[in-house]
Amino acid sequence: MGGPPAGPEGFNVQIQMEMDDPRKSLLEKYRTLVVGRPGLLPLILYECVTTLTSGVPGALGLLLRKAGYGLILGRVGRGAVLGTGLVVRHPHKVKIGDGVVVDDACLLDAKGNANAGITIGSHAFVGRGTVLSCKDGDIELGEYANIGVYCNISSNGRIRIGSKVLIGPHCSLFATAHNIDRADRSVLEQGWTARGIEIGDGAWLGAGVTVLDGCVIGPGAVVGAGAVVTKSIPAMAVAAGVPARVIRMRTKAEEEA
């Protein structure tokens, strides 16, 4: 699910170095960090769309954002709803399916050099204040996935959230693990690994769950509120605790109900 280990040239450090490069103008740095495409036209179009539509309230704002972001995003499907205060980075790598709802004050950050970006399947819901941050990785939400408010989904590798997955408020998914072996260097300088995260179809993460890099949560699994998932959880299991452990299996009768 992920790529090879990264050294100090990992993407976050690379961005820091580019932002600190005195040879680059502020405009060049901004374009690298936010727009993600060379040339003046993508920059002007991005500025016009975000400035004129992002903060407009009410039904007028919904219409303006649907039309405006359709010009800069990779795709905006039919009937998609984009809330106020939406922030998008590297917008050409953000693809939104039909009937998707992205609530107010969300961040869709598809930043990366070689990644595919963010794909949100049809009829998915992304709750208020949620952050989807690629960091040179990929994030994929399946159809009818439901992401609660103020979640943080961050991927240096790949995160796939299946169809009809329910994720409660304030959950965190981190598809990155920092190397810490060398005591003579800061963690920032030691790079990271990214094996990825996968959440199977129909799974449910309760409020405040944290899922760490390399974990697979099987289809139909349930993770109790506040749990920290450090190892994979099988399909149809119920897990809870810190670290999360399987406490029982769901029955066929429960599934049918």
Domains of the chain: 3-256 (2.160.10.10)
C-alpha–C-alpha distance, residues 11 and 120, integer Å: 23
DSSP 256: H
- Options 90, 123, 170, 178, the catalytic residue: 178
Burial of 221 (0-12, 13-18, 19+ CB in 10 A): buried
pLDDT tens per residue, the chain (257 residues)?
544 444 434 565 566 666 666 777 888 888 888 999 988 999 999 999 999 999 999 999 999 999 999 999 999 999 999 999 999 999 999 999 999 999 999 999 999 888 999 999 999 999 999 999 998 899 999 999 999 999 999 998 899 999 999 999 999 999 988 888 888 888 877 777 789 999 999 999 999 999 999 999 999 999 999 999 999 999 999 999 999 999 999 976 555 55
Contact 110, 90 (CB under 8 A): yes
- The yes-or-no answer on residue 178 being catalytic is yes
126 beta partners? 102, 147
